[in-house]
Amino acid sequence: MGETKDRIEELVREYHREQAPGPFVPGVSPVQVSGAVLSAEDRLALVSAALDLRIAAGTSSRRFEREFARFIGTRKAHLTNSGSSANLLALSSLTSPQLEEQRLKPGDEVVTVAAGFPTTVSPILHNGLVPVFVDVELGTYNTTPERIAAAIGPRTRAIMIAHSLGNPFQAEEIAQLAEDRGLFFVEDNCDGVDSTYRGRRTGSFGDLSTTSFYPAHHIAMGEGGCVLTGNLALARIVESFRDWGRDCWCEPGEDNRCMKRFDQQMGKLPHGYDHKYIFSHVGYNLKATDLQAALGLSQLSRIDEFGAARRRNWRHLREGLEGLPGLLLPEATPDSDPSWFGFLITVSPDASYSRAALVDFLESRRIHTRRFFAGNLTRHPAYADRPHRIAEPLVNSDLITDQTFWIGVYPGLTEEMLDYVIASVREFTARG
């Protein structure tokens, strides 16, 4: 049996070599904005897990949770099926009756950012809470502690914001603000894995934090995400919400870790009701599988390599595009070291050309672009008639909606590709 698996692994390596991409051809080969960078070891990790039929959450999932929590700098991590689910779990956990008077209740407010991705905001609405929208700064594309402080009202109970394209917001100051005002702080770190603020990894500042392992992100599982926390009581609540809402904490295949499986009385159930089927939350099933975790473990071993490539590619673009007319280039937040998700460009409203024209030119050269996600979320039909409060004029969020886009810095881009991007932007802006 071992010999058979060895032969399969050698065939997998051979197949991986056959899939190597051809040489880059400017104008023909696409310059993607993002994508998973997968090695032969990644492919082998998936195949090995599949051969062992590890198709549910199991040993690889638990190992990934331990290693990822250690990497970020928190006590607990709970793997989920996506980053969006991680956001939903994180915020839903704060509505738990186990938090007693601290729990979030329908009608409570959560301060968030207008310019970003919907899954930072949608969980607020799913839980009957009210998003309070603040604006961001151009350049960093993050909000500030001052903007958040000004938005806090008598019903405000939490803050939930994302690090914009891997650029950390002022996480230490915002965490302190939340503590001083008695607010929960949820740190959406889906785009910022491996970034640091004041020498500390993003994802370690919030009461809860979230990550995504979609192929566009810093490490890939295909689909996948994670909720992290240093608070063991919150970790237990997150696990319950993720695992159908059950009260039991036994791993799959375990039966009686608490030694009281048939010796408890909860709710209006009869004494001795099987603890494996007692539910303390209205929860979900948002677990991931060992197939995903096996790939995640392989990818996690390369996180330093990936972060170095993202930083190097961002610097290459920043230096190559410096000083071009009509372009506002991105800036790292002071005291931060971003592991960049993308390279944001804002076309000045008084430029001699439009954002649309520049984007069309780049796309015609097979240089892929993306908008800064939803732009100003309050302008989308999904949110138009939902309860919300706008704390300040969303001037920069509106400008971003009209004038901003981003290009890739992910590790799959070569210096030749980046030089082609730079030359293309330079050629367009030189036309006036």
For residue 164, the one-letter residue type is S
Catalytic residue of the set 78, 163, 217, 388: 217
Q: Reply yes or no on whether 126 is catalytic.
A: no
SS3 letters across 322-383? CCCCCEECCCCCCCEECCCCCEEEEECCCCCCCHHHHHHHHHHCCECCEECCCCEHHHCHHH
Residue 243 backbone phi and psi in degrees, to 5: -105, 65
* CA–CA distance, 129 with 106 (Å, rounded to integer): 5
The DSSP H or E segment spanning 88 is: helix 83-93
Q: Are 133 and 390 in contact (CB under 8 A)?
A: yes
CA-based nearest residue to 186, from 206, 168, 166: 206
Looking only at the bridges linking them, the beta strands covering 225-229 and 76-80 are antiparallel
Residue whose token pair is 């839980």: 127
Alpha carbon 25 to its chain centroid, in Å, reads 32
Residue 333 backbone phi and psi in degrees, to 5: -60, 135
* CA–CA distance, 98 with 12 (Å, rounded to integer): 49
Q: Which residues contact 60 (CB under 8 A, 6 or more apart)?
A: 49, 54, 290, 293, 294, 297
Q: Which residues contact 377 (CB under 8 A, 6 or more apart)?
A: 114, 115, 116, 118, 121, 133, 383
CA-based nearest residue to 284, from 108, 137, 91, 109: 91
C-beta neighbour count of 264 within 10 angstroms: 16
Radius of gyration in angstroms for the set of CA atoms belonging to the chain, rounded to a whole number: 23
For residue 288, the one-letter residue type is A
C-beta neighbour count of 350 within 10 angstroms: 6
* CA–CA distance, 153 with 173 (Å, rounded to integer): 19
Q: Please give the positions annotated as active site.
A: 217
